[in-house]
Amino acid sequence: MTQDTGRIERLLAIMAKLRDPDGGCPWDLEQTYASIAPYTIEEAYEVADAIERGDMDDLKDELGDLLLQVVFHAQMAEEEGLFGFRDVVDAICEKMIRRHPHVFGDEGERSAGEVEGRWEEIKAQEKAVKGAKVESILDDVPRALPALVRAVKLQNRAARVGFDWPDTTQVIEKLNEEMLEVSEELAKGGDHDRLEDEMGDLLFVYANLARHLKVDPET
């Protein structure tokens, strides 16, 4: 066993002990995938925050917290006889090899853009093999993403098949149009459901403008 493997095994043993009905932690024992999911998201954001601040010591700690989330979910799955942490590692190793045929296969050198396109092709092939029913290129954009992030991902997908404005001028015109519709709804008395719809349209176009300007809409 290598030193690195020993460290991973130690972490797995700690999590198994925390989840042990005989002497484990009451809080850890009562957790589920759903109850832990918000913490998983939070830890990912804390990793991003440490990177943005350039705090490498904090990044080390936050990456550890995020790794713990992976181990936590895998431990619960192992308890149910579904899969374990080692299965997670095996799966991601195989995926990386499969999706990089230009590195691990014989496809030869590719540009970054070609690599991205090939990645999506292989991803689609994998879904087909699994029998996943995909009716739209937008189907697999996660609903749990923050709204503006999800909006940009949806728009990027749509742009790949030609559904996009050619420049920012038309996006700004659409943004002004949506802002006017919000104002008109407010002037009518501001029906809550209608305002919710109009604000959704407004934010969606705002996110699209940010995408065209190559600006993160969340910043």
Q: What is the DSSP letter of 143?
A: T
Positive/negative CA dihedral, 130, 133, 72, 42: positive
Instruction: Please give the pLDDT value at position 44.
Output: 95
Q: For residues 4 and 65, which has the higher predicted lDDT (pLDDT)?
A: 65
Alpha-carbon distance 11 to 77, whole Å? 16
Q: 19: closest CA among 6, 33, 2, 7?
A: 33
What b/e string do you get for 54-64 counting C-beta neighbours within 10 Å, with b at 16 or more?
A: eeeeebeebee
pTM: 0.71
Helical residues (DSSP H) of 80-106, grouped into ranges: 85-98, 101-104
pLDDT category at 219 given cuts 50, 70, 90 is confident
Alpha-carbon distance 143 to 50, whole Å? 25
Q: What percent of the residues of the chain are helix, what percent strand, and what percent coil, each to the nearest 5?
A: 70, 0, 30
pLDDT, mean of residues 170-189: 93
Q: Are 134 and 140 in contact (CB under 8 A)?
A: yes
Q: 59: closest CA among 69, 67, 68, 51?
A: 51
Alpha-carbon distance 167 to 209, whole Å? 9
Q: For residues 2 and 90, which has the higher predicted lDDT (pLDDT)?
A: 90
What structural domains does the chain harbor? Answer: 6-99 (1.10.287.1080), 101-130 (no CATH), 147-213 (1.10.287.1080)
Q: Over 60: is that where the pLDDT of 1 sits? A: no
Instruction: Please give the pLDDT value at position 105.
Output: 86
Instruction: Please give the pLDDT value at position 119.
Output: 80
Q: Over 70: is that where the pLDDT of 107 sits? A: yes
What b/e string do you get for 77-86 counting C-beta neighbours within 10 Å, with b at 16 or more?
A: bbeeeeebbe
User: How many CB atoms neighbour CB 156 within 10 A?
Assistant: 13
